[in-house]
Amino acid sequence: MRLTPAQARQLVHLSDGGSLPRKQVSKSLLPLLEEAHMVHLEKSGSSYVVRGVPGKIEAFAEQQWGIRDLRRFADARTENRTRESLAEIASDSKALPNSPLSGLFLRSFGNCSLAGQPLARTPPGSAIFISPAQLPHLRITAGTLVAIENVRCLLHFESARPHFTDEKLADFALVLRWSWGTAWQRWVRTWPGKLLHFPDYDRAGLRIFATELLPHRPDAQLLIPENLEALLSERGSRDLYLRHEHLRVLKANHSEIAQISASIDSARKGLEQESLLY
């Protein structure tokens, strides 16, 4: 068996002399620990707890799985692990799934820097990849950051730009929203600028804004085309509206959610953000 970070966290707890209810210990892990005399069972009411033997489990983890640093392995979450770090702490760069493209894609317009170095302007059709490890060194000095759902809308935002007021987008950078993770959520909570979300104009798109952005940035705003009603009438999809009609509108008292909800309900159409590109 391969050790998971969740199992490693149990081992760290047991290594410190802690105990866990027997039913909570991984069924694939417990027999190995018992056979190696790394734990012992203690009666607790009508059940048992598993108590670790201090000072032995970390050496056992290295012998059994090649894990040199059990505590770092236990903390090797998706957003903070790399193949290099896994090779160092677990003797195996593939000890855990690790996507080389975990991170986010950014378009800078001369208003971003990374580790003190200015990022160039990104022309249409291109974006800059920021890994989770680089994220703490990212500085966005733009007044506004626009979170986008769709890759093509990120790469060709210039085509959609005329639908939005100059006031909302006087100085902005763009980020692809779906690549957010825990590290990004922490970063965006402390970023001092304005956060805008470019959604799909249907109930599903509004739910993403309500559940994925507002919990981390209650001051986030929606990017709403000046001509939304005309776009819904001319380019909107009745099928798209009907597909999501069953979804309850969340945060319905949010003024911009209420505005878009009223528009799509009135038209009985939904509008994907890609429709703004042509």
C-beta separation of 76 from 86 below 8 A: yes
CA distance 63 to 35: 14
State phi, psi for 51 to the nearest 5 degrees: -115, 135
pLDDT at position 164: 92
Residues of the chain with CATH 1.10.10: 5-90
The CA-atom distances, in angstroms, between 12 and each of 80, 154, 169 are: 19, 43, 49
Q: In what order do the strands lie in the sheet with 112-114?
A: 117-118, 112-114, 138-140
Within 10 A of 218 (CB to CB), how many other CB atoms are there?
A: 9
CATH fold for domain 104-277: Dna Topoisomerase Vi A Subunit; Chain: A, domain 2 (3.40.1360)
DSSP string, 186-240: HHHHH--SEEEEE--BSHHHHHHIIIIITTT-TT-EE---TTHHHHHHHH-BHHH
pLDDT at position 234: 94
Length reported for the chain: 278
For the domain bounded by 5-90, which CATH number is listed?
1.10.10
pLDDT at position 133: 79
pLDDT at position 85: 81
Residue indicated by tokens 């911009």: 256
Provide the token pair at 206.
Answer: 């509004």
| Helix ranges restricted to H, 55-101 | 57-65, 70-74, 83-90
C-beta separation of 76 from 96 below 8 A: yes
Mean pLDDT by 10-residue block, N- to C-terminus, for the chain (278 residues)? Answer: 88 92 90 91 88 90 91 81 80 72 86 94 94 88 93 95 86 83 84 94 94 93 95 94 92 95 96 93
Pairing of strands 144-148, 172-176: parallel
Residues of the chain with CATH 3.40.1360.10: 104-277
CA distance 155 to 135: 20
Model pTM above 0.75: no
